[in-house]
Amino acid sequence: MWKRIWNQTKDLIFKGDHSRLYQIVFMLLVVIFVLQALFPIYWLFISSIKPISELYDRDQALIPGSVNFSGYMNIWTFMDFSKNLLNSFIISGFATIIILFIGSLAGYVLGRTKIKGKTAIMVLILALSMFPQVSFLLPLFEAFSRYQLLDTHIAMILPDSAYLLPVGVLALRAFYSQIPQDLERAARVNGCTRLGALWRVIIPLSMPGFVSVGLMMFTLVYNEFFFANLFSMTKASQPAPVAVLRFELGYYQPWDLVTAASIVCMIPILLVMILAHKQVLKGLMMRGAV
Amino acid sequence: MRERPEKPEGPPAFPLRLPKKIGGIFGSFDLWVENLSEGRFSVLLLSPLIIFLIAIIGIPIARTIWLSLHQYLPARPWMEYKFIGLVNYVSLLRDPAFMKSLIHSFYFTVLNIILMLLLAIPAALLVSREFRGRIAVRTILLLPWAVPIAVAGTTFKFMYNGEYGVINYLLKSIGIIKEYVPWLMSYDHVFDWMYSSTAMNAIISAAVWRTLPFSILMILAALESIPPDYYKMAKVNGANSWQIFRHVTFPLILPGITIVVLWRAITAMRIYGIIDSMTAGGPGRITETLQILTIRTFFVSRDLGKGTAMAVMTMLFTLVFIIFYLALLQYVQRKRR
């Protein structure tokens, strides 16, 4: 009997792409997955526009009765959140530029030239980026404190870009290796120098790759927590996500401000994801496929 | 030194059409690059990467290993700063807090990977099908990846709250729990030897939510690299859908799944952000993993020798996974060619 039930469920799941039941189950599963992905984000948003009396209610309403935007006003006046947002943009912008510059040069070598030991170099680079961050945290902390770089943007730009560089190099390498060799050869025959061919032929052709990898890196640096948490102490360099964590009034977390600030600091990344999801997906696929 | 026969007239205009003075400098640099051999050209282009990585990651790792062999307590300057060999490591093995944190880390890693696979494989199979709004669903499934770790942690902390958390409300209205549970503050252990605590499980579910998108994507990449002819062949030969999954799809995505598992094992052993933003290792030390304990040793008890020894131990634990991961990546790449 169990075998029959098992066979029937198997048929239900894996057979009959066009049966009614199959489609209903399929859509139901899709809806469940979509809901689990969206619910925390939805809840964050709903909580940020709830009036405070409903926010701390034991019986939470899934759809708020009334709307109150005071949290969005107060984060600028009470918490000076614009400074944190600016810090975030400075850090992720500069780190992305460093990654793209160094990564484009190295990706060219790893993707297009034929030299010995390419695989070894790649493996070594990847291995370096996989060690836990604590394994180089303390010497970096000492060095930064010696040169008074703690609590500046540089203290986060340098480790973030170094830690994410290998991923960027590998993704860029994948984009480079898609460009046909003949194009480069044609440019060289027609009198382009080496760097000229790189600058005029290869880099314009891999612009989509740069956009994908750049957006991905921007998101990763923006979301990064480890160095942002440990190397920033005050408003001078604290990026927005870490500042959200530190919103405290005494021992009490003002959830209306925290939720509003979370939504605000997620907006840039969500915009990137929604407007450029194709590019980001492509970049991530490149990283996943390696 | 090799002369190029068809050298263009005048100074080569690199990188843009610049005024003559700057163009001269760039031009001579361009010429110098032109005359390098292939290997030296590669080294030139690789050098920024290598210098950067060695300066920011390589040298600090070496110094960490070197420090772990020394007695180094800035909080007690009267104690000497001297070479003591493996004493730090031996003291780690005797330290119950370290052993506990090791167990917590392994528990987190194993449960996280199991839950992640149970959700990610069906999700990837679903999304790989053709249906209307597929791109939209893919983008939505990817959204948790875009949420900053700190924000994800705070959100879940808010949702798990024992007094006004929505998870308590939902579970109670369904009837699963009778009273509100302070998820992140409960102390109960199931067994002492088989570690399990409510707070840890709550954190694991948050971590699974945050890392699900990436694992779905990796499995999806493996699924889409299967040529469609295989399915056609299987269908022509009379296989039903279960057989196709069992004998065609699954073996072909198995390397992809293994890569996901190893990737998560490497990143879960160094888990820090989500725990620090949700419980910061508490209540007590119930959710204290290796990284949290190491950072506490660095910045709270200031025992740098012991802390660096812990960091080296974490490195060693992940090294095994890293070697497997890199070997598998090479294998998959070679197969794809």
CA distance B192 to B196: 8
Dihedral sign for Cα A123, A126, A131, A136, please: positive
Give A-chain residues touching B49 at CB under 8 angstroms: 102-103, 105-106, 125, 165, 169
Is the pLDDT reported for residue A28 higher than 60?
A: yes
The C-alpha of B136 sits at a distance from chain A's nearest C-alpha, in angstroms, of 9
Q: A93-107, A220-234, B170-184, B253-267 — which is least confidently predicted? A: B170-184
Q: What is the pLDDT of residue B303?
A: 81
User: Nearest-CA neighbor of A180 among A231, A124, A238, A112?
Assistant: A112
Give B-chain residues touching A258 at CB under 8 angstroms: 154, 158
- Which helix (H) or strand (E) segment is B237 a member of? none
Confidence of residue B1 (pLDDT cuts 50, 70, 90): very low
* DSSP labels, B158-220: HHT-TTT-HHHHHHHHHTS-SS---GGG---BS-SSS--BHHHHHHHHHHHHHHHHHHHHHHH
* B272 touching chain A per CB within 8 A: yes
Structural domains in chain A, CATH included, are 2-68 (no CATH), 79-289 (1.10.3720.10)
B251: alpha, beta or left? (left if phi > 0; alpha if psi -120 to 50): alpha
**In chain A, residues 79-98 whose CB comes closer than 8 Å to chain B:** none
Residue given tokens 């503050």 in the structure block: B185
Phi, psi dihedral angles at B180 (to 5 degrees)? -65, 135
Taking only the tens place, the pLDDT of each residue in A192-208 is 777 777 777 788 888 88
CA distance B315 to B269: 9
Is the pLDDT reported for residue B15 higher than 70?
A: no
Give A-chain residues touching B38 at CB under 8 angstroms: 113-115
Nearest residue of chain B to residue A18 (CA atoms) = B131
Is the pLDDT reported for residue A290 higher than 60?
A: no
What average pLDDT score do residues A235-242 get? 86
What average pLDDT score do residues B6-11 get? 51
Q: What is the pLDDT of residue A250?
A: 59
What is the total residue count of chain A? Answer: 290
* B301 touching chain A per CB within 8 A: no
Task: Count Cα atoms within 13 angstroms, Cβ side, for B253.
Answer: 30
Q: What is the pLDDT of residue B66?
A: 87
SS3 content of chain A, % helix, strand, coil (to 5): 75, 0, 25
What average pLDDT score do residues A43-70 get? 81
CA distances from A67 to A63, B12, B31, B155 (A): 10, 64, 66, 20
One-letter amino acid of A28 = L
What average pLDDT score do residues B103-130 get? 87
A61: alpha, beta or left? (left if phi > 0; alpha if psi -120 to 50): beta
Q: A58-72, A76-90, A132-146, A225-239 — which is least confidently predicted? A: A58-72
Is the pLDDT reported for residue A74 higher than 60?
A: yes
Q: What is the pLDDT of residue A93?
A: 92
* B7 touching chain A per CB within 8 A: yes
Task: Considering only the beta carbons, identify the residue of B39, B154, B318 that sits closest to A244.
Answer: B154
Q: CB pairs below 8 Å between A and B: how many?
A: 292
* B109 touching chain A per CB within 8 A: no
Is the pLDDT reported for residue A76 higher than 80?
A: yes
- Between B235 and A154, the more confident residue is A154
Q: Does A132 contact B291 at a Cβ distance shorter than 8 Å?
A: yes
Is the pLDDT reported for residue B205 higher than 80?
A: yes
- How many other C-beta atoms can be found within 10 angstroms of the C-beta atom of residue B44? 14
Q: What is the pLDDT of residue A289?
A: 46
For residues B167 and A36, the answer to whether their CB atoms sit within 8 Å is no
Alpha carbon B82 to its chain centroid, in Å, reads 35
B90-336, CATH topology level: MetI-like fold (1.10.3720)
CA distance B324 to B259: 9
Taking only the tens place, the pLDDT of each residue in A117-173 is 888 888 888 888 788 888 888 889 888 888 888 888 898 999 999 988 888 888 888
* Contacts for A156 with CB less than 8 Å, ≥ 6 apart: A91, A95, A224, A227, A228, A231, A232, A237, A239
Is the pLDDT reported for residue B17 higher than 50?
A: no
Is the pLDDT reported for residue B10 higher than 70?
A: no
Give A-chain residues touching B212 at CB under 8 angstroms: 37
For residues A36 and A43, the answer to whether their CB atoms sit within 8 Å is no
Q: What is the pLDDT of residue A99?
A: 92
> If you average pLDDT over every residue of chain B, what do you get?
80
Give A-chain residues touching B11 at CB under 8 angstroms: none
Task: Considering only the beta carbons, identify the residue of B169, B276, B326 that sits closest to A127.
Answer: B326
For residues B158 and A47, the answer to whether their CB atoms sit within 8 Å is yes
Give A-chain residues touching B55 at CB under 8 angstroms: 162
Q: What is the pLDDT of residue B22?
A: 43
- Give strand pairing partners of B197: B189
For residues A233 and A150, the answer to whether their CB atoms sit within 8 Å is yes
For residues A78 and A257, the answer to whether their CB atoms sit within 8 Å is yes
For the ranges A5-9, A18-22, B168-172, the one whose mean pLDDT is highest: B168-172
What average pLDDT score do residues A237-252 get? 79
Q: What is the pLDDT of residue A91?
A: 92
Q: A28-42, A176-190, A229-243, B10-24 — which is least confidently predicted? A: B10-24
Q: Does A193 contact B217 at a Cβ distance shorter than 8 Å?
A: no
- Between A218 and B31, the more confident residue is A218
Q: What is the pLDDT of residue B5?
A: 54
Confidence of residue B18 (pLDDT cuts 50, 70, 90): very low
- Between A177 and B64, the more confident residue is B64
Q: Does A136 contact B135 at a Cβ distance shorter than 8 Å?
A: no
In percent, the amount of chain A with pLDDT more than 90 equals: 7
Is the pLDDT reported for residue A259 higher than 70?
A: yes
Give A-chain residues touching B177 at CB under 8 angstroms: none
For residues A188 and A197, the answer to whether their CB atoms sit within 8 Å is yes
Q: What is the pLDDT of residue B85?
A: 78
Q: Does B141 contact A159 at a Cβ distance shorter than 8 Å?
A: no
Q: Does B214 contact A288 at a Cβ distance shorter than 8 Å?
A: yes
Q: Structure pTM?
A: 0.84
Q: Does B57 contact A129 at a Cβ distance shorter than 8 Å?
A: yes
Which two three-digit tokens encode residue A283? Answer: 């970049």
Nearest residue of chain A to residue B318 (CA atoms) = A131
* Contacts for B69 with CB less than 8 Å, ≥ 6 apart: B83, B84, B85, B86, B88
Residue given tokens 């614009």 in the structure block: A82
* A107 touching chain B per CB within 8 A: no
CA distances from B287 to B97, B113, B275, B317 (A): 11, 17, 7, 19
* B284 touching chain A per CB within 8 A: no
Q: What is the pLDDT of residue A92?
A: 92
In percent, the amount of chain B with pLDDT more than 70 equals: 86
* B281 touching chain A per CB within 8 A: no
* Contacts for A131 with CB less than 8 Å, ≥ 6 apart: B57, B61, B315, B318, B319, B322
Q: Does A162 contact B310 at a Cβ distance shorter than 8 Å?
A: no
CA distance B312 to A264: 38
Is the pLDDT reported for residue A58 higher than 80?
A: no
Q: What is the pLDDT of residue B188?
A: 64
Q: Does A36 contact B139 at a Cβ distance shorter than 8 Å?
A: no
For residues B167 and B160, the answer to whether their CB atoms sit within 8 Å is yes
DSSP letter at A133? Answer: G
CA distance B255 to B223: 11
Is the pLDDT reported for residue A283 higher than 80?
A: no
* DSSP labels, A53-95: HHHT-SS--SS-SS---HHHHHHHHTS-HHHHHHHHHHHHHHH
Q: Does B311 contact A223 at a Cβ distance shorter than 8 Å?
A: no
**In chain B, residues 317-336 whose CB comes closer than 8 Å to chain A:** 318-319, 322, 325-326, 329-330, 333
